[in-house]
Structure formats: C-alpha cells, structure tokens
Amino acid sequence: MESAIGQVYLITDHPIKLITMRVVATLNKHPKITTTIFQMNEKYIIKFEAGNMEQVFKIAQTEVSGIDAIDKMLTESFITKVIERFNEMFVSFKGTKDQDN
C-alpha cells in the first residue's frame, strides 16, 4: 500500500524521501558544450553535454561557497580537459559502433 505524507513517500514499512533536483545555473563556458549546475541532496551536480555525450561531476555544497565559486573552478584549463575527454569518448564509441558493422 502506498501513501504520501508531505515529502516522504511510505511504501509498505520503508520510508523513502522525495528527491528534488533543480537547475541552479547554466554557464556559457564553451560554445559547443552545455554546462548545467543542478542542486540535489546537499550536492552540486555539474553536467557538461556535447551532442549525445555527458560528463558529470558532483561536489558537496559544503566544499564550495556557491555558484560563483564553481564557475571559478571551471577554468579554461579544466574545460580544455573536458573537451579532450569528449573527443576520447567520441572516438571510443565510434570505434565500438564501427566494430559492430
């Protein structure tokens, strides 16, 4: 039997907290990469997207003073590494797809 009480769902005898993820910022760090910062479970989730690929980093809210601090962490050098990783991901996945054909 399921019933909802506030933000806690009760499924049989095991309480499960309702998890809320919200977008707190979208940064323009590179023209070909979408950078979104989410907030969930006392963590910031930094997601980079390029095409159908994603890279995700998590950091506790207690480790940074806010969105501006995260923005400063995402230096040009770091973004260059993110792009290199996307290129490696693309080549790796393309190689896998080519082997299947």
Evaluate whether residue 11 is within a structural domain. no
Q: Is residue 53 part of a domain?
A: yes
The structure tokens 């769902």 sit at 9
Is there a domain that residue 87 lies in?
A: yes
Secondary-structure percent of the chain, ordered helix, strand, coil, rounded to 5: 35, 45, 20
pLDDT of res. 2: 40
pLDDT tens readout for residues 37-95: 999 889 999 999 999 999 999 999 999 999 999 999 999 999 999 999 999 999 998 88
- pLDDT confidence of residue 95: 80
Helix (H) or strand (E) holding 24: strand 22-30
Let me know if residue 45 belongs to a domain. Answer: yes
Task: Classify residue 10: in a domain, yes or no.
Answer: no
Give the domain extent around 89: 21-100
Q: Provide the number of structural domains found in the chain.
A: 1
On the CB side of 54, CA atoms within 13 Å amount to 7
Domain presence at residue 48: yes
**Helix intervals (H) in 2-75:** 67-73
Beta-bridged to residue 76, according to DSSP, are: none
In a domain, 65, yes or no: yes
- Please report, in angstroms and rounded to a whole number, the separation of the first and last CA atoms in the chain: 48
Q: What is the pTM for the complete model shown?
A: 0.76
